[in-house]
């Protein structure tokens, strides 16, 4: 591992930083110009110290009450791990990556930044390989099915901290797991910190993995993330990604569909405001026969935020009978926000079904007018349209509790506060009933049934 770190550092120094294309929104240049020398590469957290109230409250409000395991990292240190005794008896391993290097060296040597996210993938993956600390390691033996989710939380709690967390998930043949990972921060002020994370998922033959990531970092955190999965025959991996925080996010996500009959899915939502900058790159890499992939990303931009999405479907030679779909959509709530959504296809086989599409634009003024003439204020009307925009994607998220958290987080970002989900995420029909209005007063697909009802009555 020491030799790997030294080689990675040499790769980092010899690899130029990507600067993007001419005329882009400048996020890659901002990441390249970041002053990394101001950061502390390792920040030790006291394992015996009392947890801050904000972390305790977050664990209680995680809405993953029935879970199979829990692992928590604060800055560079994993300080809490728990796993159900039944899973331990079946050979499941949940621990920090430092411990895995010592106790399971063969597994780490074979899988750590070799095929899934190689060290030399980019300048920033090389930096991560040189400085990784803490991290999560999950191993599921052959045939073991973990029904309840495994929850992992990562907290950045010191200014000028550089946190390099690595998640390595190995699912053996015919196993299954749901892994929910959350990124949070308690850093206040304007001093920046960095979270550089890498997620590697290995799904062996007929294994099923659902990986969900909720990123709600503070506006003073820079996030560079790389997530990828390697598929064996008939394996399936679902990535659910929700990006709500961080000042700058550079995200790279992939699916290496090497195994015949494998299936990959990426479902992503984001919400940006203030001067946030996001660059999101996705790749569905079809290598084996009869592979399937779907990428669906939706996001809302407000204020002066900027988002670049670059999605690619790549079908290699001999990857016949491929089916792949890519869709990305951005909704702008501000005329100062900017979004570029660019899908792409690289097809090298002739028995392929592949389609892609992307849209970006301002919120429809006719939709706003339709709601506002019915007594709904403009901010509330925008919120209803936004929730309708997100809901088809949220319904694709397999973990119900995560859908609830995302709804609350989105409404909180738009209104600044929320009471309960019932008070915020409601459709128009429910709203009339809550306010004591007769359900026939408004019909969203036609005229009011009672011609004598007048606007002043409600």
Q: What is the pLDDT of residues 114-124, one digit of tens each?
A: 999 999 999 99
Average pLDDT over residues 152-156: 93
- Confirm whether 429 is domain-assigned: no
Domain containing 38 equals 2-363
* 3 state DSSP class of 219: coil
Average pLDDT over residues 264-274: 94
Residue 4, pLDDT above cutoff 60 = yes
- Of the two residues 397 and 269, the one the predictor is more confident about is 269
Which of 53-67, 312-326, 418-432 ranks highest by mean pLDDT?
312-326
- Confirm whether 447 is domain-assigned: no
Tokens of 189: 């002020």
- Confirm whether 442 is domain-assigned: no
Average pLDDT over residues 145-163: 93
Average pLDDT over residues 186-212: 95
Average pLDDT over residues 392-411: 84
pLDDT tens digits for range 5-47: 999 999 999 999 999 888 789 999 999 999 999 999 888 876 6
Cα–Cα distance list, 115 to 29, 144, 291, 434, 444 (Å): 28, 24, 19, 54, 52
Q: Could you give the CA distance from residue 254 to residue 265 in angstroms, rounded to a whole number?
A: 10
Residue 180, pLDDT above cutoff 80 = yes
Q: Could you give the CA distance from residue 215 to residue 213 in angstroms, rounded to a whole number?
A: 6
Query: What are the residues whose beta carbons fall under 8 Å from the beta carbon of 42, sequence distance 6 or more?
Result: 76, 131, 133, 162
Average pLDDT over residues 156-160: 91
Q: Provide the number of structural domains found in the chain.
A: 1
- Confirm whether 443 is domain-assigned: no
Q: What is the pLDDT of residue 49?
A: 60
Average pLDDT over residues 46-53: 64
- Confirm whether 452 is domain-assigned: no
- Confirm whether 456 is domain-assigned: no
Instruction: Round to the nearest angstrom and report the end-to-end CA distance of the chain.
Output: 69
Tokens 């990986």 sit on residue? 211
Give the pLDDT band of residue 425 (cuts 50, 70, 90): low
Residue 441, pLDDT above cutoff 60 = no
- Confirm whether 193 is domain-assigned: yes
- Confirm whether 179 is domain-assigned: yes
Residue-averaged pLDDT of the chain: 87
Q: Could you give the CA distance from residue 41 to residue 219 in angstroms, rounded to a whole number?
A: 20
């Amino acid at each position: 591992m020491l030799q790997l770190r030294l080689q990675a550092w040499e790769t980092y120094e010899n690899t130029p930083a990507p600067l993007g294309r001419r005329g882009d929104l400048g996020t890659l240049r901002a990441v390249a110009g970041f002053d990394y020398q101001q950061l502390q590469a390792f920040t030790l957290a006291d394992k015996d110290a009392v947890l801050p109230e904000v972390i305790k409250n977050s664990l209680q409000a995680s809405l993953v009450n029935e879970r199979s395991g829990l692992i928590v990292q604060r800055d560079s240190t994993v300080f809490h791990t728990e796993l159900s005794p039944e899973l331990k008896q079946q050979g499941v391993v949940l621990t920090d990556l430092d411990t895995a290097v010592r106790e399971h060296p063969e597994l780490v040597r074979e899988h750590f930044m070799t095929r899934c996210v190689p060290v030399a993938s980019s300048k920033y993956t090389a930096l991560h390989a040189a400085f990784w600390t803490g991290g999560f390691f999950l191993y599921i033996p052959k045939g073991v099915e973990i029904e309840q989710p495994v929850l992992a939380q990562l907290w950045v709690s010191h200014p000028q901290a550089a946190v390099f967390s690595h998640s390595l998930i190995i699912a053996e043949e015919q196993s299954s797991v749901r892994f929910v990972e959350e990124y949070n921060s308690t850093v206040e002020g304007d001093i920046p910190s960095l979270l550089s994370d890498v997620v590697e998922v290995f799904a062996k033959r007929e294994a099923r993995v659902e990986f969900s990531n909720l990123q709600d970092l503070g506006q003073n955190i820079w996030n560079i993330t790389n997530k990828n999965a390697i598929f064996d025959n008939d394996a399936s991996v679902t990535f659910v990604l929700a990006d709500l925080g961080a000042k700058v996010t550079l995200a790279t996500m992939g699916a290496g569909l090497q195994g015949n009959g494998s299936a990959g899915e990426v479902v992503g939502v984001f919400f940006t405001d203030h001067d946030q900058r996001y660059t999101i790159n996705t790749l569905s890499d079809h290598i084996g026969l009869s592979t399937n992939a779907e990428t669906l990303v939706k996001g809302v931009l407000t204020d002066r935020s900027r988002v670049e999405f670059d999605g690619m479907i790549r079908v290699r030679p001999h990857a016949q009978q491929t089916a792949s779909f890519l869709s990305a959509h951005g909704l702008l709530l501000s005329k100062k926000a900017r979004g570029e959504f660019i899908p792409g296809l690289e097809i090298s086989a002739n028995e392929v079904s592949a389609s892609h599409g992307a849209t970006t634009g301002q919120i429809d003024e006719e939709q706003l007018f339709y709601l506002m003439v019915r007594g709904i204020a403009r901010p509330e009307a925008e919120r209803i349209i936004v929730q309708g925009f997100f809901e088809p994607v949220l319904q694709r998220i397999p973990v119900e509790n995560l859908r609830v958290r995302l709804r609350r987080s989105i409404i909180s970002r738009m209104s600044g506060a929320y009471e309960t989900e019932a008070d915020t995420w409601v459709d128009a029909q429910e709203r009339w009933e809550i306010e004591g209005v007769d359900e026939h007063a408004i019909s969203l697909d036609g005229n009011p049934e009672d011609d004598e009802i007048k606007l002043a009555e409600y």
